[in-house]
Structure 1
Amino acid sequence: MKQLLTYISLYTLLLSIVSCKKYLNENPDNRAEINTMDQVAKLLVTAYPDRTYLFNETAADNSEDRTTIASKEGQPFTDLYFWRDPEGTGDCTPAEYWLSCYKAIASANHALDAIEKNNFGDKVLPYKGEALIARAYVHHMLVMHFADPYVPGGANAGLGIPYVDKPETVVFQPYDRGTVQSVYDRIEQDLTDGMKLLKPGSWDVPKFHFNPQAAHAFAARFYLFKGDWDKVIEQVSAILPENNFYDNLHQYGGNLWSLSSDEIVAENTKAERPFNLLLANTQSIYQRKEGAGGNRYGFGEKVKNESTGTTVFGLPFRINLRNYGEPNYTPGKYLEYFYYTNVAQGTGLPYIMMPLFTVDEALMNRAEAYIQKANYPLAIADLNELARARIHDYNPVNNGLTIAKAKTFTGKTDDKQALLAALLDTKKRAFILEGIRWMDILRNNLTVKHNQIDDHGTETFTELPPGDPRRVFQLPKDVTTSGVPLNPR
């Protein structure tokens, strides 16, 4: 808690340096000078988005119509569920996340500019590496949510997002969105340049920074999007060279089994836990009842039954389900800290420590790469490691995955397609409310189906197929003042 409040205080203190209320429009003359290495290090605390991308959970197939009888209906969740563009930049909107991303990029650029202008010596190089990788990561999250999906081997000539690599020098500076390919090229350049500079032990609390393990995890996800399977395997394997992944996973079926629901929520976001590779301090109400937790369109009975049902391994995963009154559920994943801005009036801001990268996700990324390379024994071994961690009393004979089991469970007759479908189903259950399902939907061209129940109880369905422009979230309208075109609708 003390560490969290320290970071929030640093964020508040440094906000004036890089504040960006309207898409990087703060007058540069208002920014403070950064002329010591310690200031660079503190500034980089704000090089990570301070809002979450959990809005994509409502747009994905982790949400359903819980009806107005049981739940309230409100914005932006209704718009997100029906793949409409929410108005404004309020809580849980894509536009809010867009703004927080460019604010984080501004911090990284300001730090890099200070490093360039000052003779800090070699000791500053890990911070330079962190700034480059943070800039790459944030741009990747932006291009993932706000531009056409990357197609491995494709032209990727659609509109990208502005790749900002220098501090602003004028207000309303014009920007070019470039193409998806050009954005990916620049992300890869920043990523590879930054990784050469990192070294362990450069930060007091490494889990809040792009330490080497977190950088490998990001690189693995990035190359998964690019379809470079060998690099995915290489990067994931570098996280834990001894390949002791089980010891570093969320062991819901193991050492976390005896904990209560509240205790698991607390453990999920601890920097001390080995499964967390990178944590971000984010302001969010998404997990609250007044957020998505009690909204009409959210995690309801159908999604709950699917998530807690039998897996391809023959037994269910343990899900830390929280209940706001049936059918209003939410997976208990985030411990909230309320930061009081006025104790007397009881006002403040809700924060969650958001795990941006975990060992669990990295291992599943390697499993997917092995499947794509038709190395099925190693893919199955990785999937079984996750199952062993998630299933209480896991038995390798009875619960171990085989290709035959994958075919029976998924209905697929092709070995690769059956294992890939089993992997995606496993990830959907394991990573619900972590924003990862939307990434899988984009990369695998999955159609999203949402139900709607009218006042008479009649249920209808709508679909969001691959290629639909609504799969790309809309930019804030204010970006047009910098010459940035909105996404087509």
Structure 2
Amino acid sequence: MNRLFGILLLTVLSISCDSYLDENPDDRKELQTVKDVAKLVANSYNESTYLFIEWMTDNVSAIPDNTQRDHMTEAFQWVSMDSYEAQESTTYFWENTYYAIAHCNEALAVIDKVSGDDDYRAVVRGEALISRAYNHFMLVNVFSKHYNEKTAEYDLGIPYVEVVEDEMFKNYSRGSVKDVYDKIEKDLITGLSLLKDDYFTGSKKYHFTRNAAYAFAARFYLFKNDYSNSLKYCNLVLGDDPAVYVRDLFKIYQGTTFDEMAAKNSDVKEKSNLIVLRKESFYARANYGYRSDTKIFNELFNNNIQGELDVRDQRWNYNTEAIVVPKYHELFRYTTSSTGFPYFIQSELKGEEVLLNRMECYIMQGEYEIALNDYHTLAAKRYLDGGKLDLNKIKEYYSLSDIKNAMKHFLLDERRKEFLDEGSRWFDIKRFELSITHKDIQGNTFQLIPNDIRTAVQIPQSAIVNGLIPNPR
């Protein structure tokens, strides 16, 4: 069966009433109103995590006293994660992401057939298109090579699913990275033309509001090296006062427990958190998997370019050599009186990323002083004395006479510190073609070279068995 995953996608049946029973034999709720469809789209926000890619980065070491299961070591060594299919696995992320996409497709298939306000209908359509685009964007950036204009037409993409899966046997092809990016862009632009915030209630932070969608667009065009478009969407988020989109870590990390700090980091009231998502995962546990250690924290934060305290240097551990930053507050959903699933609320897109994305755009366009202004906006809420730098100091610190090269090194260091333990480093390793060396507990060395084919994480074995072409190895 050439399906993308081993469970049937959600379908809403519109079967005519049986003359004998005079009722629909399917007991699932039919979608009758725009409000019903909106609830369906709300289920298109993926609850699986891609944080297994953090184990692939240079942010982690082998921690002897941590729980190291086979799939974690597979990620650490950049081999196929075939030993495990639950949380924190490629299979779980792949299946749940396509399941989320299925909700988008079902919503789009029925949106014109249900009753309700037409303005609301347009907003629901827009949200479904943007959610579909974002889910495919995450898949292609995990399971394919990074977008390269010279090779994107030939590099293997991922199936871009735009219709309801209503056939028992269906063939899919991976297409190319370019194909996937073109379809993402189409969905994204169309979705943005329809999206309005008026119909979202409460904090609105669990949906793609316009600001969240702009942040996604800024990342999309940055990854495509389209700096002009990325800059446009960064500016739409940040406006005239970008500082309000930078959380004040001196307040978040003051006088509270680890869990309280982590909860404040993902709080929907925090303006920086443009969209937050619930993630079912064990990842929040410090003694679980490959993590940062003292050596990595010293590399990141000791003798930093500012020569002053960086408040991001939060070293928390619990009877383990692993060091974690208070970003994930584990909660628990009980399915019985004693069992269930751990989960946490994750800031999926946030203002600090938009600011650093804009800084990158300015660097790539040769606007180094303007880029430094964005850095200073961030640094005021990260360094004890506010962090003031000039271009000469940056060149001197990196021993580079070429300012563009020095600024790229500087940017990558700031991004690494800002997004530590969030998975973003893996995308930067792919984008900037960095090399990594890992050493396991036994002392064996593993190396990832620049533009390594293994930066395209292998698709799940179940997808290969069902007919999809595997990534080259």
CA offsets, 1:415-448, max 9 Å, x none?
0010111010011011111111111111111112
- The question of 1:36 aligning with 2:36 is answered no
CA offsets, 1:86-111, max 9 Å, x none?
22312211111111110110011111
Counterpart Cα distance in 1 of 2:320 and 2:463: 41
Closer/same/farther in 2, CA of residues 200 and 256 from structure 1, 3 Å limit: farther
Q: CA deviation at 1:26?
A: 6.3
- The question of 1:379 aligning with 2:375 is answered no
Match in the other structure for 1:142:
139
User: Structure 1: which amino acid aligns with 2:335?
Assistant: T
CA contact (8 A) 1:254 1:392 kept: no
User: Structure 1: which amino acid aligns with 2:367?
Assistant: N
Counterpart Cα distance in 2 of 1:202 and 1:321: 41
Match in the other structure for 1:335:
329
* 2:269 aligns with one of 269, 272, 276: 272
- The question of 1:365 aligning with 2:357 is answered yes
User: Structure 2: which amino acid aligns with 1:370?
Assistant: Y
* 2:457 aligns with one of 473, 481, 484: 473
Closer/same/farther in 2, CA of residues 26 and 210 from structure 1, 3 Å limit: closer
Match in the other structure for 1:89:
85
User: Structure 1: which amino acid aligns with 2:133?
Assistant: A
- The question of 1:129 aligning with 2:117 is answered no
User: Structure 2: which amino acid aligns with 1:402?
Assistant: D
Look up the SS of the partner of 2:183 in the other structure. helix
Alignment map for 1:17-416 (pairs within 5 Å): 22=6, 24=8, 32-67=29-64, 70-87=65-82, 88-120=84-116, 121-205=118-202, 206-242=204-240, 244-253=241-250, 257-289=254-286, 293-295=287-289, 297-319=290-312, 320-343=314-337, 346-394=338-386, 399-416=387-404
CA offsets, 1:252-307, max 9 Å, x none?
13565454433221101111111100111110101214xxx343x32222122223
Counterpart Cα distance in 1 of 2:233 and 2:68: 43
Counterpart Cα distance in 1 of 2:465 and 2:32: 32
User: Structure 2: which amino acid aligns with 1:231?
Assistant: N
CA contact (8 A) 1:250 1:390 kept: no
Closer/same/farther in 2, CA of residues 482 and 305 from structure 1, 3 Å limit: same
Q: CA deviation at 1:450?
A: 1.2
Match in the other structure for 2:472:
488
Q: CA deviation at 1:326?
A: 4.2
CA offsets, 1:35-75, max 9 Å, x none?
211111211121111111110000011111223xx334322
Task: Please identify, of 419-428 and 331-340, the stretch whose mean Cα deviation from structure 2 is larger.
Answer: 331-340
Counterpart Cα distance in 2 of 1:23 and 1:475: 17
Q: CA deviation at 1:154?
A: 4.2
Counterpart Cα distance in 2 of 1:28 and 1:463: 48
Structure 2: runs of 5+ lacking an equivalent: 14-25
Sequence identity of aligned pairs in percent?
Answer: 34
Look up the SS of the partner of 1:277 in the other structure. strand
CA contact (8 A) 2:362 2:371 kept: yes
Q: CA deviation at 1:347?
A: 0.8
CA contact (8 A) 1:251 1:257 kept: no
**TM-score computed with the length of structure 2 as normaliser:** 0.91
CA offsets, 1:110-129, max 9 Å, x none?
11112133353222211111
User: Structure 2: which amino acid aligns with 1:462?
Assistant: F
Number of aligned residues: 454
Task: Please identify, of 139-148 and 304-313, the stretch whose mean Cα deviation from structure 2 is larger.
Answer: 304-313
Task: Please identify, of 420-429 and 21-30, the stretch whose mean Cα deviation from structure 2 is larger.
Answer: 21-30
Match in the other structure for 2:430:
442
Look up the SS of the partner of 1:322 in the other structure. coil
Counterpart Cα distance in 1 of 2:460 and 2:268: 33
CA contact (8 A) 2:275 2:348 kept: yes
CA contact (8 A) 2:217 2:230 kept: yes
CA contact (8 A) 1:277 1:358 kept: yes
CA offsets, 1:447-485, max 9 Å, x none?
12212353xxxx554320133222111212222454322
CA contact (8 A) 1:156 1:180 kept: yes
CA contact (8 A) 2:334 2:341 kept: yes
Counterpart Cα distance in 2 of 1:219 and 1:321: 33
Closer/same/farther in 2, CA of residues 23 and 219 from structure 1, 3 Å limit: farther
Closer/same/farther in 2, CA of residues 210 and 304 from structure 1, 3 Å limit: same
Match in the other structure for 1:17:
none
CA RMSD of aligned residues (A): 2.1
Task: Please identify, of 268-277 and 198-207, the stretch whose mean Cα deviation from structure 2 is larger.
Answer: 198-207
CA contact (8 A) 1:25 1:172 kept: no
Look up the SS of the partner of 1:148 in the other structure. coil
Look up the SS of the partner of 2:393 in the other structure. helix
CA contact (8 A) 1:65 1:452 kept: yes
Match in the other structure for 2:446:
462
Q: CA deviation at 1:348?
A: 1.0
CA contact (8 A) 2:9 2:102 kept: no
Structure 1: runs of 5+ lacking an equivalent: 1-19
Look up the SS of the partner of 1:166 in the other structure. coil
Counterpart Cα distance in 2 of 1:26 and 1:488: 32
Counterpart Cα distance in 2 of 1:339 and 1:314: 44
Look up the SS of the partner of 2:381 in the other structure. helix
Regions of 4+ moved over 6 Å: none
Counterpart Cα distance in 2 of 1:378 and 1:152: 27
User: Structure 1: which amino acid aligns with 2:305?
Assistant: V
Counterpart Cα distance in 2 of 1:83 and 1:460: 14
Q: CA deviation at 1:155?
A: 4.3
